[in-house]
Chain A
């Protein structure tokens, strides 16, 4: 019974923890402009994150070593430092977007200007990192994030023309948009589904939860069931936008537009549920990104890290986490638009992805780290195919960003 409970909890938190502000905004923007014609990217991205997360979970559970320790050992200090700077900057950008998302979700619920909210939100996040136990934090955020299932419910209630949505999904570039813009949003959606922080958070979290060889099957189950269902939520968000906003001519530029279709379908109750879901998803992701900044830096320098020990046992780690939360909150105080930060962050996710993907792929084939459980030939073939996809997306991302003026 306990085991069933463990599996269920793991899967549910994986679903609820999958969606963050990047998925919310990008899927809604894409749905409102391209209908379901980019749905295939979500499928590709979700399968990719499954491959990536199951490899890094195995590496961590078997070697007990976290991502950045391995990256430094494998790439040497110079390349690893470049990697650290890239990944850290990227994760920080995502953190800023998530904190902005928390403030916007609170604004939808209580109407307070988000700029007044960012500092209290930052403070609350810090208190959670400082005091709350890792598993409690993860499970609470993941389970509350499940409220986002309301997007799927709303889609069913809206009763869209399913054949029309299906036709969009296979029809390629819509006539109203240019192919370059289409490619740009394909990269952004891929970056939103395969965010690099998810992986090093996942592997460091495995150390925090003291995974061993015995937990390997469980972790694979969480990933292989939880992430695809999380991806289904992403498709639900895009579907809602495609059903309500696309025909009305609304192009999503704010969070209030993202949740509008749910209100249309389910009324005030739906609106409150979806706002709470967004709040939980962004809070969970903000905690994960803040911790990821601390993990990455501590693992590179070899210092103690994590929430398993009292803060005084890992002072640099806690100072880093508090520092990034503070700086992100201050950045938002300048009045930059969190939605724009989000759009940047998903594109740069795609740029930074090879930095962590490649070392993990190499180490997952190294018996020194994983013993006899190296990648099988099938997994390696899939992983190499993904390496090509990831490299293409990374190389194309910035030229596409400039070429399309962020998809204008």
Chain B
């Protein structure tokens, strides 16, 4: 292969990446929307985990792994939301989402404890709690999407 067409292809490739990066910055997904989606997803995961563990479908090992993973996702979403304040994009919706993130983190902690202790009653309570939260998050996510 001669070098000339090769160089032309390289230039084209670099140009393509640069153009798409610029376009990518222009179409950045709204961080609020991403965070709301992540919260909804981890809340739903936790609720599903609590229900399945309560029904005896999940080993406690697998249940605690799932809850851990969900907790990490909540932490990432909370970080995104907190960063919005630093960039001066504070809004009422962001504050509500952040406080729900804290509630969810607390519920996840409670669920993890209950799973570890093997306390079926507390797991069931957690599931009810998470279901309520899930409904709130789902409404919030709808509001974020439409705003």
User: Which residues of A line the B interface, CB within 8 A?
Assistant: 75-76, 78-79, 107-111, 180, 244, 248-251, 253-254, 256-257, 259-260, 263-264, 266-268, 271-272, 275, 395, 398-400, 402-405, 408
Q: Please measure, in the bound complex, the distance between the C-alpha atom of A260 and the C-alpha atom of B55, giving whole angstroms.
A: 13
Q: Is the interface of B mostly helix, strand, loop or mixed?
A: helix
Whether the Cβ atoms of B66 and A257 lie closer than 8 Å is yes
Q: Known contacts being A256-B66, A402-B24, is A249 close to B61, with CB within 8 Å?
A: no
Whether the Cβ atoms of B16 and A405 lie closer than 8 Å is no
Q: Which of B87-115 contact A (CB under 8 A)?
A: none
Q: Please measure, in the bound complex, the distance between the C-alpha atom of A66 and the C-alpha atom of B62, giving whole angstroms.
A: 43
Q: Which residues of B contact A272 (CB under 8 A)?
A: 59
Q: Which of B20-43 contact A (CB under 8 A)?
A: 20-21, 23-24, 27-29, 34, 37-38, 40-41
Whether the Cβ atoms of B57 and A251 lie closer than 8 Å is no
Whether the Cβ atoms of B62 and A75 lie closer than 8 Å is no
Choose from B16, B45, B62, B138 the contact partner of A108 (Cβ within 8 Å): B62
Q: Known contacts being A79-B1, A249-B138, A264-B48, is A271 close to B40, with CB within 8 Å?
A: no
Q: Which residues of B contact A257 (CB under 8 A)?
A: 45, 66, 69
When C-beta atoms are compared, the residue in chain A nearest to B137 turns out to be A249
Whether the Cβ atoms of A249 and B66 lie closer than 8 Å is no
Whether the Cβ atoms of A260 and B66 lie closer than 8 Å is yes
When C-beta atoms are compared, the residue in chain A nearest to B34 turns out to be A408
Interface centre among B37, B45, B64 (most CB of A within 10 A): B45
Q: B49: CB under 8 A from chain A? A: yes
- Top 8 A-B residue pairs of the complex, sorted by shortest distance between their CB atoms: A399-B20, A254-B69, A111-B61, A256-B66, A251-B41, A249-B44, A402-B24, A267-B57
Q: B85: CB under 8 A from chain A? A: no
**What's the least CB distance linking A402 to chain B, in Å?**
4
Q: Give 19 CB contacts A-B under 8 Å.
A: A78-B1, A108-B61, A111-B65, A248-B48, A249-B134, A251-B38, A254-B73, A256-B62, A260-B49, A260-B52, A263-B62, A267-B56, A267-B57, A272-B59, A395-B16, A400-B20, A403-B23, A403-B24, A405-B29
Q: Which residues of B contact A395 (CB under 8 A)?
A: 16
Q: Which residues of B contact A111 (CB under 8 A)?
A: 61, 64-65
User: Which residues of B line the A interface, CB within 8 A?
Assistant: 1, 16-17, 19-21, 23-24, 27-29, 34, 37-38, 40-41, 44-45, 47-49, 52, 55-59, 61-62, 64-66, 69, 72-73, 134, 138
Q: Which residues of A contact B62 (CB under 8 A)?
A: 108, 256, 259, 263, 271, 275
When C-beta atoms are compared, the residue in chain B nearest to A247 turns out to be B44
Q: Please measure, in the bound complex, the distance between the C-alpha atom of A340 and the C-alpha atom of B37, giving whole angstroms.
A: 18
Choose from A110, A180, A253 the contact partner of B73 (Cβ within 8 Å): A253
Q: Which residues of B contact A266 (CB under 8 A)?
A: 57
Given contacts A271-B57, A402-B24, A405-B29, 9 further A-B contacts (CB under 8 A): A78-B1, A108-B61, A250-B45, A253-B73, A256-B66, A264-B57, A267-B56, A398-B16, A398-B17
Whether the Cβ atoms of A250 and B44 lie closer than 8 Å is yes
**What's the least CB distance linking A52 to chain B, in Å?**
23
Q: Please measure, in the bound complex, the distance between the C-alpha atom of A244 and the C-alpha atom of B48, giving whole angstroms.
A: 10
Q: Please measure, in the bound complex, the distance between the C-alpha atom of A107 and the C-alpha atom of B64, giving whole angstroms.
A: 10
Q: Which residues of A contact B138 (CB under 8 A)?
A: 249
Interface centre among A111, A249, A253, A275 (most CB of B within 10 A): A249
Whether the Cβ atoms of A264 and B52 lie closer than 8 Å is yes
Whether the Cβ atoms of B24 and A108 lie closer than 8 Å is no
Q: Please measure, in the bound complex, the distance between the C-alpha atom of A110 and the C-alpha atom of B57, giving whole angstroms.
A: 16
Whether the Cβ atoms of B20 and A251 lie closer than 8 Å is no
Whether the Cβ atoms of A76 and B45 lie closer than 8 Å is no
**What's the least CB distance linking A105 to chain B, in Å?**
11
When C-beta atoms are compared, the residue in chain A nearest to B30 turns out to be A408
Q: Known contacts being A257-B66, A271-B62, is A251 close to B37, with CB within 8 Å?
A: yes
Q: Please measure, in the bound complex, the distance between the C-alpha atom of A172 and the C-alpha atom of B64, giving whole angstroms.
A: 37
Q: Known contacts being A271-B58, A398-B17, is A108 close to B41, with CB within 8 Å?
A: no
Q: Which residues of B contact A244 (CB under 8 A)?
A: 48
Whether the Cβ atoms of A110 and B61 lie closer than 8 Å is yes
